[in-house]
Amino acid sequence: MTEFNFEPKIVAFLCNWCTYTGADLAGTSRIQYPPNVRIVRLMCSGSVDPTYVLKPLLDGADGVLIGGCHPGDCHYQSGNYKARRRIIALKEILKAVGFDEERVWLRWISASEGARFAETVTQMTEELRKKGPNPMRREWAV
Amino acid sequence: METVIPVENGDTLAALRGFLRLLLEREVVEALLLPVETSAGAITPALVTDPALLDAANPLAPVMGVNAAPLVGAVSVREPRGRIGALLRPCELRALVELVKLQQASMDDLVTIGMDCLGTYDVTDYMAMRADGGVDLAAFLAGAQDGLPQPREGYAFRDACSMCENICPDGADIALELFGADLATGLPLTVRDELAERLGMSPAQAANGRRAAVVRKAVELRTAERDARLTQMQRRLAQEGIEGVLAACIRCHNCMVACPICYCKTCLFRSPVFEHEPAQYMRWASRKGACRLPPDTMLFHLTRLNHMVLSCVGCGMCTSACPAELPVARIFRAVGQQVQAVFEYVPGRSVEEPLPLVTFKEDEWSSVGEE
């Protein structure tokens, strides 16, 4: 793949109850969004271990999206509050070690927000296209 | 209660041993966990129940081979356990506080004996120094009267010690206060009142009362040194990235083993998650043209940063343990400073303060995720 027709790859970790269902709604509502996202369904954004986010980034994914229920709406009461702190810590660490932390997005998207899911993926794809490929993409020594 | 252990013939170590013996004889504790000198001259932590064997105790030796906090965890984590006194340096005390919060140690039935830390050498340097004319403990301790003792010529303190500003044993039940004291005549200490009573101690003032001023100056010097070294590391990380700074890592996992806080019984990186099919390696190599083996070296370090950095007390055992002599602890402190500030968390400060990642407030960072 040349830089000219670079298409960003996004790995998305979506919670079963809100964001994944939102993505499903975007599909059933036939809302168009870029095919750049690979979705992994998890039971809760609170079950996203930082390692899940780091592994694709170090292997060359251009961005990672974590999607969960809006604060107050977590199916397990507090998973998304814990995810929030965990992802904030992760992004601070990435920033501190010289990695572009803007490649990691955390978004609250409910089951009824199919349009918001599509917008988020569109926006993220655009932002990553501007950034260009993740420098780790060709870095064999990580 | 503030008091002083009298020192005879300038032998500070003998006076300290006498005090420790008293703790066992008066049955304040049943055992002491503290650094002991073996007949071969190595300093190792030991759990001592026989007062006579305290003749080999040597907590003042300026060497740190292990952080003893996990050992305190091993002897305290569940009942039945002994009533134990643990003699710890400030970084060991702080690591212990973190382990208590991680449910890997318990302060119940534990008497913590903290001590001002004058700086430590790596084991290799300490043993080399012993062979090279011996370690002059009296001269080393004398250096604490006016400030920070200097390392012997031709030797350096451990990197973590040279930039450590947490040199006092805050929160210990018994605190040995070496800074500012003429240790050839007396060893000042602060003892919790009920313990002092059981030990039959009476209050006494340190003769010169200079500790506060000496500590203030020492902390200032060390803070400046810390800032200089961490700023340099932050600059390196920004320029080279962590993959540049840690490029020479050989993935021995020593940093993980030496870390007092890294406690998982089954580490992800030693689990079958990282055992792959032969074909998987070929896929990785084909995708990037080559893949480093073993793979996932940066994933290992970044995951460790995520797991440990909020609790990192800066003891520097990771750097001491690194065969590639990588500045692991400097990275952890440099990154830790930034991340800990975000959560207003100071590792090792208090067992009451919850770990940042096991607690939350509903009304915090409310704009995050809503963009």
| Phi, psi (rounded to 5 degrees) for A107 | -135, 140
Q: Of the candidates B239, B292, B299, which has its C-beta nearest A51's C-beta?
A: B299
- Cβ contacts from A onto B, under 8 A: 116
Mean pLDDT over the full length of chain B: 96
**Exposure string (b/e) for A18-54, b if CB count within 10 Å is 16 or more?**
bbbbbbbbbeeeeeebbebbebeebebbbbbbbbebb
Residue B19: how many CA atoms within 13 Å on its side-chain side? 29
A140–chain B Cβ distance below 8 A for any pair: yes
| Phi, psi (rounded to 5 degrees) for A65 | -110, 130
Tell if the CB–CB gap between B362 and A81 is shorter than 8 Å: yes
CA dihedral B348, B350, B351, B356 (to 10 degrees): -70
> What is chain A's length?
142
In terms of CA atoms, which chain B residue is nearest residue A72?
A: B362
| pLDDT above 80 for A4 | no
Please compute the mean of the pLDDT values over residues A48-69 and round it to a whole number.
Answer: 97
DSSP assignment of A83-139, as one string?
HHHHHHHHHHHHHHTT--GGGEEEEE--TT-HHHHHHHHHHHHHHHHHH-S-GGGG-
- Unique residue bearing structure tokens 């005390």: B93
In terms of CA atoms, which chain B residue is nearest residue A79?
A: B360
In 10 A of CB B290, how many CB atoms? Answer: 12
Q: What is the pLDDT of residues B336-359, one digit of tens each?
A: 999 999 999 999 999 999 999 999
Contact A53, A13 (CB under 8 A): yes
pTM listed for this prediction: 0.96
Q: What is the pLDDT of residues B165-186, one digit of tens each?
A: 999 999 999 999 999 999 999 9
Please compute the mean of the pLDDT values over residues B34-57 and round it to a whole number.
Answer: 97
| Phi, psi (rounded to 5 degrees) for B41 | 95, 0
Closest-CA distance, B290 to chain A, in angstroms, reads 6
A103–chain B Cβ distance below 8 A for any pair: no
Contacts of residue A50 in chain B, CB cutoff 8 Å? 302-303, 306-307
Q: Which two tokens stand for residue B38?
A: 């073996």
Contacts of residue A51 in chain B, CB cutoff 8 Å? 268, 299, 303, 306
Q: Of the candidates B303, B358, B362, which has its C-beta nearest A71's C-beta?
A: B362
| pLDDT above 90 for B316 | yes
Q: Which two tokens stand for residue B168?
A: 């006092």
Beta-strand relationship, A63-68 and A10-15: parallel
| Phi, psi (rounded to 5 degrees) for A61 | -65, 145
What pLDDT is stored for residue A129 in this prediction? 97
Distance of CA B312 to the CA centre of its chain: 10
Please compute the mean of the pLDDT values over residues A38-65 and round it to a whole number.
Answer: 97
Q: What is the pLDDT of residues B77-127, one digit of tens each?
A: 999 999 999 999 999 999 999 999 999 999 999 999 999 999 999 999 999
Q: What is the pLDDT of residues A22-46, one digit of tens each?
A: 999 999 999 999 999 999 999 999 9
> What is chain B's length?
371
The set of residues, in sequence order, having a beta carbon less than 8 Å from that of A62 and lying 6+ positions away, is A8, A9, A10, A103, A128, A131, A133, A134, A137
